Every structure is written in C-alpha cells, then in structure tokens.
Amino acid sequence: MNEKEILRHVDHTLLSQEAVWDEIRQVCDDAVKYDTASVCIPPSYVKQAAEYVGGRVPICTVIGFPNGYETTAVKEFETKDAIANGADEIDMVINIGWLKDRKYDQIEEEIRILKNACGSKVLKVIIETCLLTDEEKVKMCEIVTRSGADYIKTSTGFSKAGATFDDISLFADHVGGNVKMKAAGGISSMEDAEKFLELGADRLGTSRIVKIVKTEEENPAGRNL
C-alpha cells in the first residue's frame, strides 16, 4: 500500500484546545494537497473552514467531545448546528457512563437521533475503547450496527490511550457489514497506519501521517520508509 492510498483513508485532524485559525487553515491546505478523506476540526471553525475549502475536501467535526456526557438534546443541537455551518461528517462521543450503567437502549436512541439529524451526512460513533472492557466494546459494536450510524470509532485521542490493533480486530469480528471502522489516537507511523487498514479500518484519525509525508518531501535524503 503506497502513501497516496493510505492518505485517502486519513481524517487529517487538529482538535487541540489551542488551535487558531492559521493552524486550521494549514491543515485544510494540507488535506486538499494530499487528498485526505477529510479534515477534522473543532466545531467553532467549521463554517470558516467550509467557506475556505469550497468543497475541495470534506469537513469533519466532533460532537459531545471529548467526554460524551452532554444530554442528547445538546448533542442533537450541536450536530444540526455543525451541519448548517457546512460539516460533511460528524464524529460523536457516546455517553460512557450510560454504557457502564447498561443503558443500552438510551445509547442506541441517542445515536439514532444524531443520525437523523445528520441526514445524508456521515456519522461516526466514538466509543473510547481505552475506558471499556471487551464485553462493552462488543456491546457497542452491536448497538452501532443497529443504530444506522456509518462508522464505529475507537478513540477521541484525549483519554488514557488511543487506537490499538486488537480493538480494530475486535470490531471487525463483531460489527455488521453496514458499519465501517475508524482507528484514531496515537497513530504515529506509516507502518501502523497500513496495519490498521489491513485489519479492516476504513478511516484513520491522525495528524501525523501528513506530517510524515511533508517531512519526507522536505528531506528526501532522510527517507526511512
């Protein structure tokens, strides 16, 4: 798998609390240049970024991020607002406390409500695998499969750990054929990116893959891939 193929699966991401417009604009430029799957940015920058890129790359943003414990009504409003501002893809965080409390019906209903708010736009469901047992991960595979969401996603990148190969393998064994998988958090090498894709991930949430390619272009003699 070559770099261009890997880049087509990357949600080029900048979600730092300190991110300013000049940085957001740069990741948008990079996403367009390297033909990534999307650019994933904070909701407050969606409208400006959508106007800036003019449809050259899909705009992804996050809802209920990073903790997921907002009410469903708040998440629904956030989703509708983001889409009105030009978002093409929504990455929502589940209520992890509800999962621990086995409130499975409430989780599924929330995802359904957000998918309805998305309409034809893509909805990805972040379950924060580092906080879950394998049993809880499997249960979320079942819930996401029934909910109508487009993707199940490993992590926010803001908790104890990010994506693991084991989690993507577990997802692959338990999600329905209607659900794609996104690995996110801690993906720091081209080799890891390729491995996640080989295991069945369709998207990779990361900023580092584009940075690796840019570094190679600037220092071709130092290429070590």
Average pLDDT over residues 163-190: 97
pLDDT digits (tens, 9 = 90+) for 191-218: 999 999 999 999 999 999 999 999 999 8
pLDDT value for 220: 75
Residue 225 pLDDT > 50 = no
Question: Which CATH number applies to 3-216: 3.40.470.10, 3.20.20.70, 2.60.40.1120, 3.60.20.10?
Answer: 3.20.20.70
205's CB contacts (< 8 A; 6+ apart) are: 11, 13, 40, 91, 153, 155, 157, 163, 182, 183, 184, 185, 187
Residue 224 pLDDT > 90 = no
pTM of the model: 0.95
Q: Which residues does the annotation mark as catalytic?
A: 91, 153, 182
pLDDT digits (tens, 9 = 90+) for 35-88: 999 999 999 999 999 999 999 999 999 999 999 999 999 999 999 999 999 999
pLDDT value for 223: 52
